[in-house]
Amino acid sequence: MSDKPDDLNDQIRNTIDEAIRSLVAVGCSHETACGLLVIQGALRIRDREKLAELRDFLDSCTEVGDDDDGD
């Protein structure tokens, strides 16, 4: 494995994409597959502070701004 950050990011994305494809192959929707990965990841985080940071990040991703048309 190369120690280049781009190579590592590509490997991580490929691994996640493969997991999503596998879950879809057994009958999950894309959204369900992604949600399952989030839930399973969160269950494995033992540090409560890290989990709170993740929850705050996810909350910020779902906030809709006043100028958002929903597109």
- Domain definitions of the chain by residue range: 5-60
Report pTM: 0.71
The model's pLDDT over 28-65, given as tens digits with 9 standing for 90+, comes to: 999 999 999 999 999 999 999 999 999 999 899 887 65
Res. 66: pLDDT tops 80: no
Distance CA 61, CA 25 (A): 27
DSSP result, 51-62: HHHHHHHHHHHH
Check residues 5 and 51 and name the one with the higher pLDDT. Answer: 51
Please give the pLDDT value at position 3: 59
Runs of H (alpha helix) within the chain: 5-25, 30-43, 48-62
Side-chain-facing half-sphere of 67: CA atoms under 13 Å: 0
Please give the pLDDT value at position 71: 46
